[in-house]
Structure 1
Amino acid sequence: MTVTHTLADPRVETAISRMFALAEQDETAQGQLPSGAQESMAPQELADAAAGIYMPISAEGGKLLYNLVRAIRPATVVEFGMSFGISTLHLAAAVRDNGTGRVITTEMSKDKIAAARRTFAETGLDDVITVLEGDARETLADIEGPLELVLLDGWKDLCLPVLRMLEPRLRPGALVVADDVDQGEGLLRSYLGYVRDPANGYQNVTFPIEDGMEMSCRL
């Protein structure tokens, strides 16, 4: 018996493979950013400067996200930091296979949004994805809860403010996943300090996938 799922849809598989191949040039593109850009530039300036950089989730990380959404069956998945949409496609594929739910994702780069929307239409997943343009601290401010799964994969210094903003709408048992927790320079130090402090109401586990994924369960 052949088991089919949306990640195996040739349209989705081709799009993901194409973007992962293009992302192999990220190191070269990142080298063209000014030194210390993430610390010195405003979020929108940085998004515009990095408009050609994919910064994707890992292939294994994408599969993990797919499995989590299939298991949890969330009504709403929120993603902070869409980029070109590799992680979004994994989330949306799981929503499609669940037969229920939606993905709300955010991005600041107009170029990336335009490219991602074309990809979402090509894959047939655009009907379960809502793309919000702008600073997530504004675009996600009025998202209705309860929220059951949140992916934080945007600019690292904004992950904690975005989480704190969404916290009142997290239902008990909700999962918050942050990518690249082992990335150099301690970019997620404040975020990890917060979610790993028992006083803040999370139970955590770190998945050793690529640069690490921190999974925090809202207690």
Structure 2
Amino acid sequence: MTQTSTLQDPRVVTALDAMFARAAQDEVTGARIEAARPGGFAPSTPQELADANAEVYMPISAEGGKLLYSLIRAARPATVVEFGTSFGISTLYLAAAVRDNGSGRVISSELSADKIAAARRTFAETGLDDLITVLEGDARETLAALDGPVDFLLLDGWKDLCLPVLRLLEPRLAPGTLVVTDDVDLPALAPCLDHVRDPRNGYESVTFPVEDGMEISCRL
């Protein structure tokens, strides 16, 4: 008998379609936000940036989401950690894979209270909320309090914070753990990419050509 994944659940399909449709307006939304801030965003704290961009989805691509789903199905991690929930698009792919594995949990971190509220509603509507915990606040603080190992890590928050978050969690990464970093084309991500691509730091890393690129790094 043909098996279907949770990604084909009508509730998940509806939620993802709706969020991707809204995310398609990110460029227009971003331009409106920038126009309202003639002085720009610098200097701004991560919290100020998150609050200013509370309407912007900044989503992972659909193909990137399917890649994450497949990696988690194969690796079968007990604890999946995500830096950067946003409205929860990527989180749905992570949780769908955990659901279909039959065990595990997703822990995500997000600065924007508005995005967290919207994401939690979506998680409840899709029936995946029992697998997902969203931590509100600076990931450098919220993820520091995690209990136990991190078995799969997605870095998709503010790009200049990806390396600090990775370094924070490195003591919890066992050999064989996968670290996936989204948007490799963005210059702000360079320090993090330099870190995982340097063999002296204990990773075997490869760039996967999906949308803006995803770096898949295996902890050695």
Counterpart of 1:5 in structure 2 is 5
The 5 Å alignment of 1:6-45 reads 6-31=6-31, 32-33=33-34, 34=37, 40-45=43-48
C-alpha distance 35-78 of structure 1, shift in aligned 2 (>3 A): farther
Counterpart of 1:106 in structure 2 is 109
**Distance in 2 between the 1:36 and 1:8 partners?**
45
SS at 1:53 equivalent: coil
Paired residues of 1:37 and 1:46 also in contact (CA < 8 A) = no
SS at 1:204 equivalent: strand
The 5 Å alignment of 1:4-153 reads 4-31=4-31, 32-33=33-34, 34=37, 40-153=43-156
- After superposition, what is the alpha-carbon deviation per residue over 1:135-188, rounded to whole angstroms, capped at 9, x for unaligned? 0000000212321110000000000000000000001000000000113xx111
Q: In structure 1, what residue type is equivalent to 2:120?
A: R
Paired residues of 1:144 and 1:169 also in contact (CA < 8 A) = no
Compute the displacement of 1:3 (Å). 2.3
Compute the displacement of 1:47 (Å). 0.3
C-alpha distance 202-38 of structure 1, shift in aligned 2 (>3 A): farther
List alignment gaps of at least 5 residues for structure 2: none
**Distance in 1 between the 2:73 and 2:150 partners?**
15
Paired residues of 1:177 and 1:216 also in contact (CA < 8 A) = yes
Counterpart of 2:177 in structure 1 is 174
**Distance in 2 between the 1:100 and 1:22 partners?**
31
TM norm structure 2 = 0.96
Compute the displacement of 1:40 (Å). 2.6
Q: In structure 1, what residue type is equivalent to 2:208?
A: F
List alignment gaps of at least 5 residues for structure 1: none
**Distance in 1 between the 2:133 and 2:172 partners?**
18
**Distance in 2 between the 1:180 and 1:36 partners?**
26
C-alpha distance 181-36 of structure 1, shift in aligned 2 (>3 A): farther
C-alpha distance 43-13 of structure 1, shift in aligned 2 (>3 A): same
Compute the displacement of 1:9 (Å). 0.2
Compute the displacement of 1:189 (Å). 1.1
Over the matched positions of the two proteins, sequence identity in percent amounts to 72
